[in-house]
Amino acid sequence: MTTTPPPSRRAGLRFGSRPAGSSAPSAADRSVEPRPAGLRKRWLVAGVFAVLVALVAGVSLGPVSLPAGSVAAELLNLIPGVHLDSGLSEREIAIVTELRLPRVVLGLLVGGLLALAGGCYQGVFRNPLADPYLLGVAAGAGLAVTAAIALGGAGRQGAISGLPMTIPLAAFVGSLLAVTMTYVLGAAGGRSSSPAMLILAGVAVSAFLSAGQTYLLQRHSDSIQPVYSWLLGRLATAGWHDVLLVLPYAALTAVVVLLHRRELDVLAVGDDEARSLGLHPQRTRYLLIAAASLGTAAAVSATGLIGFVGIIVPHTVRLLAGSSYRAILPLSLLFGGAFLALTDVVARTVAAPSEVPIGVVTALLGGPFFVIVLRTARRVLT
Amino acid sequence: MSREPAGPSAGLPSAGLPFGGGDGGVPAVEVRGLHVDLGGTPILTGVDLTVAVGEWVTVIGPNGAGKSTLLRAVGGLLPAPGAITLFGTASTALRRRDRARVVATVAQSPVVPPGMSVLDYVLLGRTPYIPTLGRESTADLDAVHEVLGRLDLTGFHRRELATLSGGERQRVFLARALAQGATLLLLDEPTSALDIGHQQEVLELVDQLRREHGLTVLATMHDLSLAGEYADRMVMLAAGKVVAAGTPSEVLTEHLLATHYRASVRVVPGTHGPLVVPVRPRAHL
């Protein structure tokens, strides 16, 4: 009874219309078993390569230009047990390890986090425009950090490098409140609420929270200067302290989000169907929103508001490596990091000796890119 | 993480031995006194329904009668404490994953994720067998390829689901449900998006699979003639209650359709079941 019977005649007639070129599957076809979508090795290698290029470029380029080969050798020296002669002077080695390397590493971390969070929000909300900024998450984190600096006096000494440990936590609370507000507002239309509703809600929440931030700054004008320079997005003052501050949150976010990459593919068919496939979509959604918001909060508290990374990177990855979150999420982490570290190189060399705020550079790139995404996403949004 | 042994044929249950026993005594679905309120509005009020193992039961009824709600409740998508038993086990006692191995649902208009290939879509059906946070095994892939072959979809595996025609898509939706390895198939309006030829094909395919694999089918349908041709038994719902149940010729009567659908029809005897033909009410002649 379980042997294959010939398909019924009707079925054979109508469904027999196979796609062109595959009417007779050859032996070679069958031996190359089709694989499910996922992270292909060549893309993983490309991602790691991009990170390494960004690392070496980010460390070599600057007011004192260092040869890339020497920089690579000096970076390898950081691996325990490796001793290479890089030919760099004591002072140059200090530039590499104490000034530039932490800045590049922070750029890699923050870029990776923002891109990962963007990709994660896009999957969780089934919305191609979801991004830490458009959802108001970053604004929530920004308001919370501003409040911590203005009311808590964290930045009174001028610079806010050497952020206290409480800043990322405040940012996390702020970002969670913001994403909850956006979610509730965006779902106000009930079952008929569209992806565009969510983004409009995010824009409204962002505006509301930014107004709160402006008000706080007006009332506490002594903190305007540090907050303002932080707001524009900066990697300039990054030292190892900032890296260590972000690292645990980055690791937690990356682990939680990457572990759920397959579930995000299942969520793409909708909550009802995900449920009938045995998942708990709402539970997964809350967990992933929290994880992505934690990552955003850590990124924002370390480097201020750097927009559009969460849109540019996941969408580019999607175009290149396929629409499965199994590929999008790990590659967004890698390419997001490389993208921001390289953008930082542009930001600090294009108008040297002064630096362009990195948030300005990403916005200049991201604005036009957003229009492209909007055009391709039109079908989903209407 | 422990995995259940899953052979190459794990995608398709073998005939005659569904979950919970194939002794013929335990029904596949037993619904007793089901009440469902949605947002304070009563949708189903005291519905009873029994589907025997291997049987095809089609639920009919006018718009808003609660057909889809009944199917959702049986599929575990709506809370129905104590009212539903699947293969002898209370539905509420089943973990969601375990229920997904017993019941597969094809929604009325399933979401077509942009960019997803047929292979990946059918592979989603293996979700209840893939460890949480884990990845699919070769046994899962074998099961998917077996189902694709069975449904004559082998040439389509790389195609994007969104580029397929309505009839092809409907077969892919069925393939995902079969890959789930469930013995109870819930079909909500499986033919609503198809032309008349494809409607027959999909239903023939379901019937063929039902016979080969001992599947039980619970469907909702709007086309009454087509519903009567394929169902062993029919249940008519109206305003949240069962108003008629029995063989197609017992349920598809001019009187019942006039009362509950407010429809003016002639019922003509057909080969497999009665044929329902709409006629203009006398008043307009």
Instruction: Using pLDDT thresholds of 50, 70 and 90, give the confidence band for residue A118.
Output: very high
Q: What is the pLDDT of residue B14?
A: 44
Q: What is the pLDDT of residue A105?
A: 94
Question: For the ranges A23-32, A110-119, A197-206, B142-151, which has the lowest average pLDDT?
Answer: A23-32
Q: Which domains does chain B have, with CATH numbers?
A: 27-278 (3.40.50.300)
Residue that wins the pLDDT comparison between A6 and A123: A123
Q: What is the pLDDT of residue A155?
A: 47
Residues of A in contact with B127 (CB under 8 A): 266, 277-279
Half-sphere exposure of B13 (CA within 13 A, CB side): 28
Query: What is the rounded distance in angstroms from the CA atom of residue B250 to the CA atom of residue A230?
Result: 76
Q: What is the pLDDT of residue B60?
A: 95
Q: Are A257 and A291 in contact (CB under 8 A)?
A: yes
Which two tokens mark B7?
């052979």
| Predicted complex ipTM | 0.84
Q: Which are the contacts of B79, defined by CB distance < 8 A and separation ≥ 6?
A: none
Q: Among A8-12, A75-79, A242-246, B44-48, which range has the highest average pLDDT?
A: B44-48
Q: Which are the contacts of A181, defined by CB distance < 8 A and separation ≥ 6?
A: A136, A140, A201, A205
Residues of A in contact with B130 (CB under 8 A): 262
- pLDDT above 90 covers what percent of chain B? 51
Q: Are A359 and A340 in contact (CB under 8 A)?
A: no
pLDDT in tens, A235-261: 766 688 888 888 999 999 999 999 999
Q: Treating both helix axes as pointing N-terminal to C-terminal, what angle do A101-124 and A240-259 enclose, rounded to 10 degrees?
A: 30
pLDDT score of A63 more than 80: no
Residue that wins the pLDDT comparison between A200 and A106: A106
Residue type, B130: I
Q: Beta partners for B219?
A: B58, B187
Q: Which of A283, A132, A136 is nearest to A204 (CA)?
A: A136
Mean pLDDT of B122-147: 89
Query: What is the rounded distance in angstroms from the CA atom of residue B186 to the CA atom of residue B244?
Result: 20
Q: Which of A199, A135, A142 is nearest to A173 (CA)?
A: A142
Sheet of strand B89-90, all strands in order from the earlier edge strand to the far edge: B41-51, B29-38, B84-86, B89-90
Residue B94 DSSP SS3: coil
Residue that wins the pLDDT comparison between A220 and B6: A220
pLDDT score of B116 more than 70: yes
Looking at chain B from residue 56 to 75, which residues have their Cβ under 8 Å from any Cβ of chain A? 72, 75
Q: Are strands B275-278 and B41-51 parallel, antiparallel or unpaired?
A: unpaired
Report H helices in chain A.
9-15, 27-31, 41-60, 68-77, 90-94, 101-124, 137-152, 166-186, 195-219, 224-231, 240-259, 261-267, 271-276, 281-303, 309-321, 325-349, 358-381
Distance from CA of B163 to the nearest CA of A (A): 11
Mean pLDDT of B274-278: 91
Cβ–Cβ below 8 Å for B76 and A276 = yes
- Across the interface, which of B76, B123, B204 has its CB nearest the CB of A8? B204
- Across the interface, which of B124, B157, B197 has its CB nearest the CB of A269? B124
Half-sphere exposure of A375 (CA within 13 A, CB side): 5
pLDDT score of A165 more than 80: no
Q: How far is CA A227 from CA A177, A224, A334, in A?
A: 21, 5, 29
Q: What is the pLDDT of residue B81?
A: 82
- Across the interface, which of A19, A273, A323 has its CB nearest the CB of B110? A273
Half-sphere exposure of B138 (CA within 13 A, CB side): 1
Q: What is the pLDDT of residue A164?
A: 64
Handedness of CA A238, A239, A245, A246 (dihedral sign): positive
Q: What is the pLDDT of residue A233?
A: 63
Which two tokens mark A129?
């425009």
Q: Which of A132, A153, A308 is nearest to A227 (CA)?
A: A153
H or E segment at B208? helix B196-213
Distance from CA of A128 to the nearest CA of B (A): 11
Q: What is the pLDDT of residue A168?
A: 80
The pair phi, psi for residue B38, each rounded to 5°, is -120, 115
Distance from CA of A331 to the nearest CA of B (A): 17
Looking at chain B from residue 218 to 277, which residues have their Cβ under 8 Å from any Cβ of chain A? none
Q: What is the pLDDT of residue B136?
A: 86
Q: What is the pLDDT of residue B127?
A: 92
Question: For the ranges A73-82, A231-240, B116-125, B217-226, which has the lowest average pLDDT?
Answer: A231-240
Q: Which of B12, B22, B94 is nearest to B53 (CA)?
A: B22
Q: What is the pLDDT of residue A220?
A: 80
Cβ–Cβ below 8 Å for A275 and B76 = yes
Q: What is the pLDDT of residue B167?
A: 86
Mean pLDDT of B104-131: 91
